[in-house]
Amino acid sequence: MTLVQTQPRPASANPVHRTVVEVMDAAGPRVCDDMSVEVALAVMAAAGTGRLVVCDQDDQRTGLVTQAELAAVRDSSAYTDRLRLRDILSTPGILALSR
């Protein structure tokens, strides 16, 4: 008989049992919700990622935005250079422009 030693797997090794916080942390860099769409797109390009975790002033996660969503918003008629990530996440329908 051969003895086999096993070691417990970390919770993050099984994606089914990951928490929302773990998923959002793995989703991409964290940015503040007062960041403009253009700056957010530049951060994504520099980080080589397609999504950002958006946090409020208290560093609480408020949402997740993707490069495709931000590009669609930037190219829409609703876009202005004053548009912030918090505006995109809090305005019903604005992200629907990207779908």
Compute the distance between CA of residue 94 and CA of residue 5 in angstroms, rounded to an integer: 53
Q: Is residue 26 part of a domain?
A: yes
Q: Is residue 65 part of a domain?
A: yes
pLDDT for 33-52, tens place per residue? 999 999 999 999 999 999 99
In sequence order, the 6+-apart residues with CB closer than 8 A to the CB of 82 are: 36
Q: Name which of 5-19, 24-38, 83-97 the model is least confident about.
A: 5-19
Q: Identify whether 51 is part of a domain.
A: yes
Q: How confident is the model at residue 2 (pLDDT cuts 50, 70, 90)?
A: very low
Best mean pLDDT range from 6-10, 67-71, 74-78: 67-71
Asked if residues 54 and 31 have their Cβ atoms less than 8 Å apart, the reply is yes
70 assigned to some structural domain: yes
Domain interval for residue 59? 19-98
b/e 23-46 (16+ beta carbons within 10 angstroms → b): ebeebbeebebebbbeebbeebee
Q: Does residue 8 sit within a domain?
A: no
User: Rounded CA gap, 91 and 88, in Å?
Assistant: 6
CB-facing half-sphere around the CA of 68: CA atoms within 13 A: 3
Question: The domain that contains 39 carries what CATH number?
Answer: 3.10.580.10
Identify whether 23 is part of a domain. Answer: yes
